Amino acid sequence: MSSYRSGSDRPRASARVPSGPRATGGHQYSGKTYGGGGGPRVKPPTNTARMVVLTCLVVSLIFTLGGIGAWGYAKSLNSGLDRFDAFDGVSDRPEDDDGLNILVLGSDSRNPDSTKDSRADTIMIAHVPSNGEKAYMISLPRDLWVNVPAAGDWGGGKNKLNSASFFGGVPLMVQTVEGYTDVHIDHVIEIDFNGLIKVVDALGGVTMNVEEADAPDYATPGKLTSIHKYKGKEPRTWKAGKQTLDGESALDYVRQRKQFNEGDFARMRHQRELLKAMMDKATSAGIITSPGSLTDFLSSVTDAVKVDKEFDLISTGVSLSSLRSKDLVFMVSPNIPNGYDEATGQSIVESDKEKASALYKAIAADDMASWAKDHPKDVKGS
C-alpha cells in the first residue's frame, strides 16, 4: 500500500482475480452522428463530459497545496471539509492495490441538460500509480449498462450505472463500480459542479481559446452562441478566439455541444482545456504570492466538495505535490455507444468488454504506464 493512501484500516474482502467488466446485453445502432446539426440527432455516446472539470476542483486544490507548501491552509481546510460514510455496507470488495483510486461523483443541477433526480450526473475514477508520476482520469458513461446490486426497493440486475446512486446512494455506487471494474476504490469525492463558478472567479478568470460553431444548424463564422438561458437573460455570444472568461461564462462555454460537429467530444475537449487553464492559473505567481487570492481560491474549492470520512487532504497532497496539468491523462472507459436494451426500451452504452477488462486489470496491477503506451489512441493529454 502506498504512503499517500489514508483509511487503510477499512475491512476488505479477500483477494479476487480481476475478471473485468461484466456488463452485457443491448443492441448496437450504427451509422449515426453525434454532432449538433446536419444529420439525425441522437443521444451522444456519454453524458460524462463535464466530469473532467468536476475533478479539477479537487485535483487543483491538492496540487496547489503541494506545489506551494501551503500546509497551514491545508490543515484548516482538511478539518472543515464536509464528510460522509461512502463504504457503509459495501461488501465483496476487490483486492487493494498499490495505487490510489478515487471515485469522483458529481451533479450539475443548474445545467438544463441534467436529470432532476438524485442520480449521479458524472462518474470518474482518478487513478494515481504508486510512483505518483501521473494521474489517470477515467470517465465512466453514466448510461453504461452494468449489474447494479440489490438495495432498498431495487431487486438488483442490469441497469444504467448512474441508477446506483438513486437506488442506494454512494455506497451502492461504490459497490457497483467495484463490481464492474474489479478495482478497489480507496476514497470518494462528491462535487457540486456549480462550485466551478466561484473557483474560476477566485482565480480572476481563465484564458481560453473559444471555438466557433461548426455544426450546420448552428454555424456562425467567428462566433459561438450559447443554447442556454440563465437568470432570464438572452443566451450569451462569444467571439471565437483567445479570451478571458469569468466563472459563469466559462461554465456556460464548456456545457455547449450541439453547436459542434463533434458534439459531446467537443465538449469533453473544451473541459480538458478549462481544467488545464484552471490548474495553470492556480499555480501561477499571481495566486501563490497573494494571500487573499489564495485563501479565496482554496475556500471556493472546499466549499464545492464533500469527501469520505477517511480522506486526508494533507497526506494526499504531500504525495501528489509534484503533479501538474501536464501529468494528467484523460480517457473514457472503453465502450460501444448507441446501444439499446429491448427489455426496458432504454438507450444505453455497452461495455467494450475486452478493452475495458485490459484497462482495469492494468489499474489493479499498478501498471497503467504500460497500458497507456500500448493504447496511445485511447488516452488524451491535458
Q: pLDDT of 55-82, one tens digit each?
A: 455 555 555 555 545 556 667 777 778 8
Is the residue at 134 inside a domain?
yes
**Residue 17: is its pLDDT beyond 80?**
no
Contact yes or no for 158/146 (Cβ under 8 A): yes
Place 327 in a pLDDT band, splitting at 50, 70 and 90: confident
Place 192 in a pLDDT band, splitting at 50, 70 and 90: confident
Contact yes or no for 245/200 (Cβ under 8 A): yes
Q: Buried b / exposed e across 170-189, counting CB within 10 Å, b at 16+?
A: bbbbbbbbbbbbbbbbbbbb
For the chain, strand residue ranges (E) read 27-28, 82-84, 100-107, 122-128, 135-139, 145-148, 157-160, 187-192, 206-210, 223-225, 237-239, 241-245, 305-308, 328-332, 335-341, 346-351, 380-381
pLDDT of residue 207: 95
**Residue 257: is its pLDDT beyond 70?**
yes
pLDDT of residue 148: 97
Residue 363: CB partners within 8 Å, gap ≥ 6?
97, 99, 101, 125, 127, 136, 138, 181, 183
CA distance linking residue 331 with residue 342, whole number of Å: 29
**Residue 32: is its pLDDT beyond 50?**
no
CA distance linking residue 131 with residue 26, whole number of Å: 39
Q: Which of 254, 321, 241, 222 is nearest to 54 (CA)?
A: 254
Is the residue at 329 inside a domain?
yes
Q: Which residue has the higher pLDDT, 105 or 44?
A: 105
Residue 151 per-residue DSSP state: B
**Residue 223: is its pLDDT beyond 50?**
yes
Q: Which residue has the higher pLDDT, 161 or 9?
A: 161
pLDDT of residue 20: 35
Q: Supply the DSSP string of 163-212, one letter for each residue.
A: HHHHHHHHHHHHHHHHHHH-----EEEEEETTHHHHHHHHTT-EEEEEPP
Contact yes or no for 92/314 (Cβ under 8 A): no
Residue 282 per-residue DSSP state: H
13, amino acid identity: A
CA distance linking residue 6 with residue 27, whole number of Å: 42
Burial of 3 (0-12, 13-18, 19+ CB in 10 A): exposed
Q: Max alpha carbon distance in the chain (Å)? A: 59
Is the residue at 273 inside a domain?
no
Is the residue at 240 inside a domain?
no
pLDDT-above-90 percentage for the chain: 37
**Residue 129: is its pLDDT beyond 60?**
yes
φ/ψ of residue 145, rounded to 5: -90, 110
Is the residue at 153 inside a domain?
yes
Per-residue cell: 300? 471556493
Contact yes or no for 356/20 (Cβ under 8 A): yes
Residue 346: CB partners within 8 Å, gap ≥ 6?
160, 340
Residue range of the domain that includes 73:
27-195+290-381
Is the residue at 239 inside a domain?
no
CA distance linking residue 206 with residue 200, whole number of Å: 7
For the chain, what is the domain count? 1
Q: 1 in helix, strand or coil?
A: coil
Q: Which of 137, 34, 60 is nearest to 302 (CA)?
A: 60
Instruction: Read off the pLDDT of each residue in 159-169 and give the average, rounded to a whole number.
Output: 92
Instruction: Read off the pLDDT of each residue in 229-258 and give the average, rounded to a whole number.
Output: 90
Whole-prediction pTM: 0.72
Is the residue at 68 inside a domain?
yes
CATH of the domain at 79: 3.30.420.590
